[in-house]
Amino acid sequence: MDETAGAAARAAELRGLIEYHSRRYYDLDDPEISDAEFDGLVRDLRALEEAHPDLVTPDSPTQKVGGSVSTAFSEVRHRMPMMSLDNAFSFDELVAWGKRMERYIDGDVDFVCELKIDGIAISLLYEDGRYVRAATRGNGVVGEDVTDNVRTIAVVPDRLSVPPDRTPAVLEVRGEIYMPLSAFEDLNERRGQAGERLFANPRNSAAGSLRQKDPRVTASRELAFFAYQLGEITGDGAPRFRRHSETLEFLTEAGLPVNPEIRRVTTMHDVDGFCRHWLEHRHSLDYEIDGAVVKVDDLAQRMELGATSKSPRWAIAYKFPAEQATTLLKDVMVSIGRTGKATPFAMLEPVQVSGSTVQLATLHNEDQVAKKDVRPGDTVFVRKAGDVIPEVVGPVLSKRPADLAEWLFPETCPVCGEPLVRVEGESDTFCTNVECPAQRAGRIGHFAGRGAMDIEGLGEKRVMQLIDAGLLHDPADLYSLTYGDLIALEGFADLSVRNLLAAIEASKGRPLANLLIGLSIRHLGGRGAEVLAGAMGHLDRIVAATEDELAAVEGVGPTIAHSVAEFFALDTNVAMVDRLRQAGLNFEGAVGGEPELPRTLGGKALVVTGTLESMSRDAAADAIKARGGTSPGSVSRKTAWLVAGAEPGAAKVAKAAEYGVPVIDEPTFLRVLETGQP
């Protein structure tokens, strides 16, 4: 095949792919590829057409607006076509666009910077101030009539709040219908419980909710709307405008919701600043944005610039790098933690998400895997919200190979081969073999870690190395390590051996509560350990106490009491305590009621979200208060830190980003409790 024929074949292929994926996205609300992958196809086609202009056809997807009109709704012909926007995928492309504008236009160009709301474009029509019609973009010329559905959206006014003498006879306004993140999470939670298919993201969720035959379904879905563009406006009293920014002010006065983050700027430098700011802070919002839209403010300048067949020249969308991608789920594996908890995780074909490569993602527990219905061999959506942990959203069902087997939780521990047991009434599964090497490594690592015995220089890697060398079986073995043992190991030199031995020695004097934390007793976190140490005063008394005696301690619930009693009922654990005693560890705690803790948090507010490993959320709140801090239920500007455990609440994380509140993980939180500093 010669080069031209090859290019023609590729262009035809790209057009086919774009049309297929466009239909899945716009019409079926069920995409198979991520937005970034879709944009990539369009970009490839555009590059090809630029290199071979004779290949451009009038119906090429580069020449028209995506989306079509479903027969489920009646058609609405737009009074003015609803165009889409050209994209810039980098700051350089954005600045190049701005420079072009400034060259075309005599005089200064002012810009309006807006957020690119990730929802569904809509046109609303008001006649004599009354809401009469709403239409989707459809193919840009003809859209779908969704009047009754949009009427159910609380923020869409039924009447404009404009004085009668200034009320336009016709006002057409364009904007975006979206679903706030909090509403999206609630909806998916409910759908999950009802065994219904989950929506992949808020955009699909908004689209699915809007395009319902029954407006009552739409009404139940908490949709919202932002107006961003005035369409037609007629009537004797109707105001006349010179600038886009004036139209937005008018729309606001008329009672239409206009996004509060919109900024009018006078230089490309400020445009760039706006885009960079939102690239960094996008997760502070309770709705998803996929970029920024930059528009020329002066309406006369807009006329001068005009439009191509598809998009105006006076506006551009700066698109953020992808946060969602699709990739192959190669396998689901299970990792064993220090308490024996078996956590399933996804092994993914490496994929770029938000600028980093993702190949592992936790799946939390058996129920989560079932709820998401992801199976090895599936193509899955992977997303990453800001710096937060990558997440497998769900499978692309249309790509699932036939007869793909469901993933079943393994019955035996992948490390020691002993049975895995799911505790009744809980979602977690455990390896119950306390001798399991994976648990052992986890326990020793935890014992040496921050918040427990804090042995500097003994990280996870070294623990594994010492276990492999046969030097460590349990935490007590740390205290019989010798210079000779360590110097013989790879990676150790005279100084590092001395430092490690000194750090181990120093740990002997740590408070009893730290020692208790270090023992990895299930459910016993920092607060519980402190209460127990304070109330019982000595490790031997805790070892000897019955479950009832433990439960009688103020601040120790039946769960902790049971688990502590169970721990010390095991001979191996009692023997380990004896060896710790012989090594000279401190077993004594401050006696008498509530231990006086250092007021490390004096007045600071810490909000806790998600599941912490070492303590319940209530225990975390108690631990904060015991150190002079407060633990309110929601994030505000006054919050000092947001503590995020597993599966943190997205709304809280978003608020924290909005207010610039630092988000800290559990180990950092334990450090903050102890020292007041992250």
Tokens of 455: 């042995």
Is 5 in contact with 17 (CB distance < 8 Å)? Answer: no
Which spans of this chain sit near ligand IVH (rule: CB under 6 A)? 83-85, 114, 116-117, 121, 137, 176, 228-229, 293, 312, 315, 317
Q: Which stretches of 57-216 are assigned E, i.e. beta strand?
A: 75-77, 87-88, 111-117, 120-127, 130-136, 142-144, 170-178
Number of C-beta neighbours around residue 482 at 10 A:
11
* Residue with smaller CB distance to ligand IVH, 311 or 559: 311
The amino acid occupying position 511 is P
* Residue with smaller CB distance to ligand IVH, 114 or 366: 114
Asked about 116 being catalytic, the answer comes back as: yes
Please name the residues in contact with 240: beta carbons below 8 A apart, sequence gap of 6 or more: none
Question: Nearest residue to ligand IVH, using CB?
Answer: 121
Cα–Cα distance measured from residue 173 to residue 5, given in angstroms and rounded to the nearest whole number: 45
Taking the complex as a whole, how short is the minimal distance between the CB of residue 398 and ligand IVH, in angstroms? 24
Cα–Cα distance measured from residue 301 to residue 105, given in angstroms and rounded to the nearest whole number: 7
Is 179 in contact with 223 (CB distance < 8 Å)? Answer: yes
* Active-site hit among 99, 116, 310, 384: 116
Tokens of 244: 């886009």
Is 78 in contact with 135 (CB distance < 8 Å)? Answer: yes
* Residue with smaller CB distance to ligand IVH, 143 or 648: 143
> How remote is the C-alpha of 511 from its chain's centroid?
37
Name all contacts of 151-156 with Cβ < 8 Å and 24+ positions apart. 151/215, 152/215, 152/216, 152/218, 152/219, 152/223, 153/177, 153/218, 153/223, 153/224, 153/225, 154/224, 155/224, 155/225, 155/257, 156/124, 156/131, 156/225, 156/256
* Residue with smaller CB distance to ligand IVH, 292 or 516: 292
Tokens of 35: 């937005």
Is 455 in contact with 504 (CB distance < 8 Å)? Answer: yes
Cα–Cα distance measured from residue 676 to residue 670, given in angstroms and rounded to the nearest whole number: 9
Residue entry with tokens 């439009």:
307
Greatest pairwise CA separation for the chain in angstroms: 96
Taking the complex as a whole, how short is the minimal distance between the CB of residue 66 and ligand IVH, in angstroms? 8
Tokens of 476: 């007590």
* Residue with smaller CB distance to ligand IVH, 84 or 343: 84
Q: In 3D, which of 78, 81, 83 has the Cα closest to residue 66?
A: 83
CA-based R_g, the chain, Å: 31
The residues annotated as belonging to the active site are: 116
